């Protein structure tokens, strides 16, 4: 599916996660981690967004000149399973086409650290995506960050709300960095180029 939008339209890049220090290092919060790194790269700090239940950073991604894109980085401050409300409020406030929305999220069905970028599709049981799709349909971009399946008989809910293991943390910085690169490539060069480079 190829969607073209007005090149001057802003992009809304949403890192999905749960607010609060107790969740900060959870597998389920890897979207927040990537959003934090992107904010650092554009030299911005997250601030509360008006009436929307979210923190945002506004800036530009890409080289100086016509090739760069206006972006709004967002972290919903609702809980994961009601992410759709804050995202919709931001979409309406900034007038962002749905095809210019990117959700960065953890993905159970992909090996740890593997990335998959796509446009549209199902939610695969992910509550953040389920909430977003319910309020605006499925036709937004996803940057899926693999966290693998729970070991043994551990419940999925327990697994995603646990911190990355010590072994995983050794490579986490590298994988988060790569995911941020993938988001930048998607916004600047388009989905096909980003998929060709980062879908491993």
CA atoms within 13 A on the CB side of 31: 28
For the chain, the maximum distance between any two Cα atoms, rounded to a whole number of angstroms, is 53
Write out the chain in H/E/C secondary structure. Answer: CCCCCCCCCCEEEEECCCCCHHHCCEHHHHHHHHHHHHHHHCCCCCEECCCCCEEEEEEEECCCCCCCEEEEEEEECCCHHHCHHHHHHHHHHHCCCHHHEEEEEEECCCCCCCEEEEECCCCCCCHHHHHHHHHHCCCCEEEEEECCCCCCCCCHHHHHCCECCHHHHHHHHHHHHHHHHHHHHHHHHCHHHHHHHHCC
CB atoms inside a 10 Å sphere around CB 126? 24
> Which residues make beta-bridge pairs with 119?
141
Supply the residues annotated as catalytic.
Answer: 28
């Amino acid at each position: 599916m190829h969607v073209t939008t007005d090149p001057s339209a802003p992009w809304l890049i949403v890192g999905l996660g749960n607010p609060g220090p107790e969740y900060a290092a959870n597998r389920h919060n890897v979207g927040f981690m990537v959003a934090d790194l992107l904010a650092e790269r554009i030299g911005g700090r997250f601030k509360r967004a008006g009436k929307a239940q979210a923190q945002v950073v506004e800036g530009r991604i890409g080289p100086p000149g016509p090739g760069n894109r206006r972006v709004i980085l967002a972290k919903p401050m609702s809980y994961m399973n009601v992410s759709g409300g804050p995202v919709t409020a931001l979409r309406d406030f900034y007038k962002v086409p749905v095809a210019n929305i990117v959700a960065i999220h953890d993905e159970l069905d992909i090996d740890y650290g593997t990335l998959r970028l796509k446009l549209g599709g199902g939610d695969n049981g992910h509550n953040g995506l389920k909430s977003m799709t319910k309020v605006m349909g499925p036709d937004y971009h996803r940057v899926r960050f693999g966290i693998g399946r729970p070991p043994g008989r551990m419940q999925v809910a327990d697994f995603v709300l646990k911190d990355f293991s010590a072994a995983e943390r050794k490579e986490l910085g590298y994988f988060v960095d790569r995911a941020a690169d993938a988001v930048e490539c998607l916004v600047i060069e388009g989905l096909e180029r980003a998929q060709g480079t980062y879908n491993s």
